[in-house]
Amino acid sequence: MTDERASASCRCGKVALEIAGSPILRGICYCASCQQAGRRHQAVSGADAVLAEDGGTDYVLYRKDRVRCSSGGELLEERRLKPESPTRRMVARCCNTAMFLDFTRGHWLTLYRGRLLGDIPPATMRMMTADRPEGVILPDDIANYPGHSGKFMLKLLGAWMAMGFRRPAVEGVP
């Protein structure tokens, strides 16, 4: 593990996350689920913006064992597109700030890049671009993958191997 550290917080500062180690990857997702969840979130009064104008959601993925909620865990509220969905998006209800996406069957946590404090490097890939809104033309400044790329899957697998194939809970998150 590197000594890289990061932190994230909601807009009012009541919910805070501490992260140790490098991210698995930085990416922008255009899947239909992220777009639908982003629109639902942003439709609530006072919500922060999670969707870019082109329909993408900018994320940074970390291993779950490297993230902990240091304060305000009780203020996190899960939102799912369907009750049975394994994906829950966690929102700080104190200020209606989208914090992260938790694929509960996975070993990683997907933080909204806008929640991370400090100078966070930009995305290195765009994923699920086949689902982007009609008429959106993406630049070729980074890799644009129509689905989940082999590179994306290998990075997730490598992180999971390094974790001993565990799927831990995130400390301090309900």
**Residue 75: helix, strand or coil by DSSP?**
helix
The pLDDT value recorded for residue 3 is: 77
**Residue 143: helix, strand or coil by DSSP?**
strand
Instruction: For strands 125-127 and 57-63, give the pairing.
Output: unpaired
pLDDT tens digits along 141-171: 999 999 999 999 999 999 999 999 999 999 9
pLDDT tens digits along 127-137: 999 999 999 99
Cα–Cα distances in Å, from 143 out to 12, 17, 138, 155? 34, 29, 10, 15
